[in-house]
Chain A
Amino acid sequence: MEAGEAAVILARARQGDEDAFRVLVELHARAAFRLAFRLMRDERDAEDVVQESFIRAHRRLPAFEARSNFGTWLHRIIVNCALDALRSRDGRGQNRREEPVELPETLTFDGPSPERLAHSDEIRRRLEESMQMLTTQERVAFTLRHHEGRSIEDIGETLGIQHSAAKHAVFRAVRKLRAALEPLRREA
């Protein structure tokens, strides 16, 4: 879709045109699901986040600045919805532990390729566990940096934290993932 067409659709959606908003939903739903799933790591939770994000987006559309990018704006809404959902899940004791992780002294790796390892059930299980060990902020910061390619500065703005705090959230996430995955890599 050309930029001009996208702008017209957005303008109509902002003026309350339901069909135009539907086009926006249909255009952005798959990317929304990918981000929501990365953050939630659960299909059903991701679906809930996608749905809630579009409902919030519709409610806030009149306040949306026309010169902004709708995709980026929606991205932030999805992150906020996911943060709410993760905090709520944490509150129910279904998420990560806060205890510190012991980090290995050395970081050597001579095993098979990571592509092969990624297919092993054990790696997946350990990865899942290690992601659960991250705090909500670490998980979101890492996902945005690693999977979504967002800059540290952008992550800080999205999460409403300082640049250095965003950077250290990513560092901590990598350290924890490394600590959890390194022993398996050595065994392989």
Chain B
Amino acid sequence: MTHCSDDELVLHHYGESPDAGAHIAACPGCAERARDLASLLATVDEPMPMRDERYGTEVWYRVRPHLEPPRGFWPSATFRWALAAAATVALVASSFVAGRLSMQPSTRSVSPTRAAVDTADPQLARRVLLMSVADHLERSDRVLTDIMNAPAADLSVQQQWAGDLIAANRLYRQDALDANEGSVATVLDELERALLDVVHRPEDAPADLDQIRRRIDSAALLFKVRVLSNELRHRELGPGASPASDTAPIS
């Protein structure tokens, strides 16, 4: 009987020597050596420093100043078509809104998407809504990230931005409900509550800020905002876009 060499045992340990297995099963000496090797290699598995879920954002802020603008960038044919389509939709929507605004004074706040939702083309209305909400979510993402990473001393600028977003957020949430986009409305509802928390935060209250951050964190709000934003962009670009109600709700 030929016993396993040390190197064969190493391969066996890492599952890269199927032939050695049969011999080790039948040979107590080699089985003992295999166990000994496994025991030795287990001592190498020492603990390592961990990084929490904010680490990715920290890395991004360190990396961002060093990024070069893309060289020789010119959109691909597909992307050019998508851009052209998006521009056309935006143009139609803005013309429609402009037309409505010039014809009659509004009795209540009306979002651009509300105007488009009223059009006879439901597909067009839905696409305008998705694009607008995706843009809104990206702006909200930037504000929330700033709030999560800003020094506690002065948040007045971020509070101003959050205040600007609240009114639009309400309109988009209503539009989403009207368009049967339940999961979009749910995320916008959570976002609105977080924005209100920020706006109404008393000055010079670091404990309060910590509480707001914890709430944003525990609700995974930033993650939800990014996932939804990406999903909407995907649907906006993809053919045969399906409503959010067809997908798993983000909650």
Contact = CB atoms under 8 A, between A and B. Distances in A.
Do A and B come from the same complex?
Answer: yes
Interface of A: 1, 4-5, 8-9, 12, 15-16, 18-19, 21-23, 25-30, 32-34, 37-38, 43, 50-51, 54-55, 58-59, 61-62, 107-109, 113-115, 117-118, 123-124, 127, 145-147, 151-152, 167, 170-171, 174-175, 177-178, 181-182, 185
Most chain A CB neighbours (cut-off 10 Å) among B6, B40, B57: B40
Interface in B131-156: 138
A9 B138 CA distance: 14
Contact of A181 (B43, B71, B72, B227): B43
B41 interface: yes
A141 B42 CA distance: 17
Interface in B115-143: 138
A34 B234 contact: no
Contact of A117 (B43, B226, B227): B43
A25 B36 contact: no
Given A18-B67, A27-B56, A9 B43 contact: no
Contact of B40 (A19, A38, A54, A114): A114
B68 A15 contact: no
7 contacts: A18-B67, A29-B55, A109-B40, A127-B44, A146-B44, A171-B7, A174-B41
Secondary structure type dominating chain B contacts: helix
Contacts of A185: 40, 43
B63 A55 contact: yes
A163 to B, nearest CB: 11
A25 B60 CA distance: 6
A23 B229 CA distance: 11
Interface stretch (B45-53, B162-170, B205-213): B45-53
A8 B62 CA distance: 24
A16 B69 contact: yes
Contacts of B76: 15
B234 A4 contact: yes
Given A58-B68, A127-B44, A181-B43, A171 B10 contact: yes
Q: 9 closest pairs, A vs B, by CB? A: A26-B56, A16-B70, A29-B56, A114-B42, A29-B59, A8-B234, A114-B43, A16-B73, A54-B63
B200 interface: no
Contacts of A175: 6
A8 B36 contact: no
Contacts of A25: 56, 59-60, 63
Given A34-B48, A145-B14, A170-B10, A8 B237 contact: yes
Contacts of B66: 51, 55
Contacts of B33: 107
B189 interface: no
A117 B73 CA distance: 55
Contacts of A16: 69-70, 73
Contact of B226 (A23, A123, A174): A23
A111 to B, nearest CB: 9
B40 A30 contact: no
A38 B48 CA distance: 8
Contacts of B56: 25-30
A114 B39 contact: yes
B79 interface: yes
A159 to B, nearest CB: 16
B230 to A, nearest CB: 5
Given A167-B11, A178-B37, 18 more contacts: A5-B230, A8-B237, A8-B238, A25-B60, A26-B56, A26-B57, A29-B56, A29-B60, A59-B68, A109-B36, A114-B40, A114-B42, A118-B42, A171-B7, A174-B41, A177-B41, A181-B40, A185-B40
